[in-house]
Copies of this chain bind each other. A is one copy, B any other.
Amino acid sequence: MATIDLNKAPTPNPFGNLNPCAACTVRDLSICQVLDKKDLQRLAEIATNLTIAPREPILDEGEDAAFLFNVTSGTVKLYKLLPDGRRQITGFLYGGDFLGIAMNASYAYSAEAVTEVTLCRFPRKKFEHLLTVLPTLEQRLLSAASNELVQAQDQMVLLGRKTAKEKIVSFLLSLSQRRADRDETPSPVDLPMSRADIADYLGLTTETVSRTFSVLKRTGNIRLLDGGLVELPDFDTLREIADGY
């Protein structure tokens, strides 16, 4: 399309780009955590703040990987498509997550905003240069990659060997764990994504996801609240379900 995509337009930031990172609310969760004030300033100099509306694309698989991102708020989904349209969501990103570790010259997956999303965008070349100068940043990135790999392996177990019920409960527990990691209450958890998204993340169909939620609700293992919130009343039982005891 010929028009400028307003969703991707940089928003002027209230700090005049002097050091927007200083005010970043998710800095302690992100890769920036390891940088001191001076280095943060250097990162800020190559960063642009963006806001993306729900359902808007952030990047496309195969596209030249010109930018890397930090998610500062909202929920992002990463996915890959098969030629006939089958979709696998490979992950959801939230505030503090880094987007762009798994790429070569081009992006290995597509990314789309689930909710309204704010991002910190870095030109790849400049970011990579910064990596060579800031060894702590590179170490942090390696550690992030290592964590992502561990997560990816758990997801392979889920996709290859778990039943629908185990998949759903594992998913809910992982969302709960993420909350706990950020010192939030582990229940209720928020589900900003659709049933279809959950299905494509867990290797199921929307119908099976819906049915499984119904069963879990009926057996008292979860409670569905308003606003897409899910209450988890008994973690011990849920953990047993998730791991198939």
- Mark A residues whose CB is within 8 Å of B: 78, 80, 82-84, 86-88, 90, 101-104, 108-109, 131-132, 135, 138-139, 141-142, 145-150, 152-157, 159-162, 200, 202-203, 243-245
CA distance A104 to B147 in the complex (A): 8
Report yes or no: B244 in contact with A84, Cβ–Cβ below 8 A. Answer: yes
* Contacts beyond the supplied A80-B157, A102-B152, A148-B149: 15 A-B pairs with Cβ under 8 Å: A80-B153, A83-B244, A87-B161, A88-B156, A88-B161, A90-B153, A104-B147, A108-B153, A135-B135, A141-B142, A145-B146, A145-B149, A156-B159, A159-B160, A161-B203
CA distance A157 to B91 in the complex (A): 11
Report yes or no: A150 in contact with B88, Cβ–Cβ below 8 A. Answer: no
Can you name the residue of chain B whose Cβ is closest to the Cβ of A141? B142
Chain A contact residues: over half helix, strand or loop, or mixed? helix
> What is the total number of copies of this protein in its complex?
2
Q: Which residues of B contact A102 (CB under 8 A)?
A: 146, 149-150, 152-153
Report yes or no: A153 in contact with B245, Cβ–Cβ below 8 A. Answer: no
Partner pick for A157 among B82, B101, B145, CB 8 A cutoff: B82
Can you name the residue of chain B whose Cβ is closest to the Cβ of A82? B244
CA distance A162 to B88 in the complex (A): 10
Report yes or no: A152 in contact with B149, Cβ–Cβ below 8 A. Answer: yes
Partner pick for A86 among B83, B141, B244, CB 8 A cutoff: B244
In the complex with contacts A132-B135, A150-B108, A161-B82 CB distance below 8 A: yes
Report yes or no: B153 in contact with A156, Cβ–Cβ below 8 A. Answer: no
Partner pick for A203 among B88, B160, B244, CB 8 A cutoff: B160
Q: Which of A83, A145, A150 has the most CB of B within 10 A?
A: A145
CA distance A141 to B135 in the complex (A): 13
| Closest beta carbon of chain B to A30's beta carbon, Å | 17
| Closest beta carbon of chain B to A111's beta carbon, Å | 12
Partner pick for A103 among B80, B87, B146, B200, CB 8 A cutoff: B146
In the complex with contacts A139-B138, A146-B101, A156-B90 CB distance below 8 A: yes
In the complex with contacts A142-B145, A156-B156, A150-B244 CB distance below 8 A: no
